[in-house]
Amino acid sequence: MPASQRIVRTSLLITSASLLSVSLSVPAVADEKPKPPASMSTVGGERLGRAGTQVELGSGAPVLPKELTARSWIVADAESGDVLAAHNAHWKLPPASTLKMLFADTLLPRFPRTEKHEVELSDLAGVGAGSSTVGIKENETYTVHDLWLGVFLRSGNDAVHVLSAMNGGIDKTVADMQEHADELRATDTTVASPDGYDAPGQVSSAYDLTLFARSGLQKKDFREYCSTVRAQFPGETKKDKKGRTTRGSFEIQNTNRLLTGDYDVDTYKGIAGVKNGNTTNAGATFTGVAERDGRVLLVTVMNPQKNEHNEVYKETARLLDWGFAAAGKVEPVGELVAPRSASPDARPGGTAAPESRESARAAAAAAPGTGRSSGAGVALGVAGGLLALLAGGAFLINRRWPLPDLVRRRTRH
């Protein structure tokens, strides 16, 4: 081999070896896991703005569960607002259908449940391809009650779009939701779609989703819908050979597996909602509320990294178990803030006004036994009078926000 060829070959081998060395020493960007930003919101407390797990264990407090893979989670006392523990609480992440909690909290008061609406084709425009639907049909009439059952039980984006059309359209509804999020001081949330379907720039956080759940649970209809296990939903109108029309119905079941159970997940004792979600960008997300021994906890879990069936529910159940065992044995690492318009004359210190206690007693006396939504859901009762009813809509600030008539479970059939 001529000397010139040997020199060229040697140079190529050295260059190739150098490139291989560089490629081995530099990790592939595609394999890097997303990390929470170094600086996040401090709404609710400075520690909630830190990356990583925040917890302050006291004497006798159990350690946190080991098998927690979610990118973000939070455990909070629903009444006092104390955050018992959190992990990347303010990390802005795609929320999936848990954003429907904000949608419901914004729009539920606007339409009586008996109001009827005939669906037009334009009402269903823009429903994302492959998104969850309840089966709403054009030219069929539904009550608002039907539509909300579709939203909560089947996470129906078609039902969300119909209610948005009734509210003046998608753009107006998105703007209304953003305004309500700002009122709740949910500063991590940017709304781009009313149903939580993946959209550019749409984000929320475990902290904000917990605020939405806590606010929604102040509403009786919200509590009823998010705790309903199954219901009958209107079907399609059909004509027989004689021209007579009939309209049947079909059963829909809640997709919240802590409420309904599954082959690998048991129904969680004391569970009362609230909302789950799953999209390509968001992964699995879930916010749950449960009561045990007179204490009500809220847990939000976003995007578990363990690829196992129903993992978001399994991690939520572990955090709920921990929260109930740790209550009173940990120092809060933050709090769920009150809305901007919280009543300035609300009583401090978490003591309900006398008229609030009277309202609570009246609510307890009037609470149904085993009532069902549309004959198929599960009613929520008053937890032994522990949870006081808000009087005159007043928001009890300064560490306490009681939930009205939540959450003693009734036996399901």
Active-site amino acid positions: 97, 100, 155
Burial pattern 147-175, b for ≥16 Cβ within 10 A else e, equals bbbbbbbbbbbbbbbbbbbbbeebeebbe
Neighbouring-strand partners of residue 274: 288
What separation, in Å, do the N-terminal and C-terminal C-alpha atoms of the chain show? 88
Q: What's the CA gap between 55 and 123, in Å, rounded?
A: 46
Classify the C-alpha dihedral 92-223-86-82 as positive or negative: positive
**All residues at 6 or more sequence positions from 277 whose CB lies less than 8 Å from its CB, including other chains:** 95, 96, 97, 98, 99, 100, 155, 196, 284, 285, 286
Q: What are phi and psi of 204, to 5 degrees?
A: -150, -165
Supply φ then ψ for residue 16, to 5 degrees.
-60, -45
| CB 247, CB 237: distance < 8 Å | yes
**Cα 134 from Cα 149, distance rounded (Å):** 9
Rg (CA), the chain: 25
Pairing of strands 70-77, 295-304: antiparallel
Stretch (H or E) spanning 277: strand 271-279
Contact 315, 69 (CB under 8 A): yes
Distance CA 188, CA 87 (A): 15
What whole-number distance in Å separates Cα of residue 197 and Cα of residue 131?
7
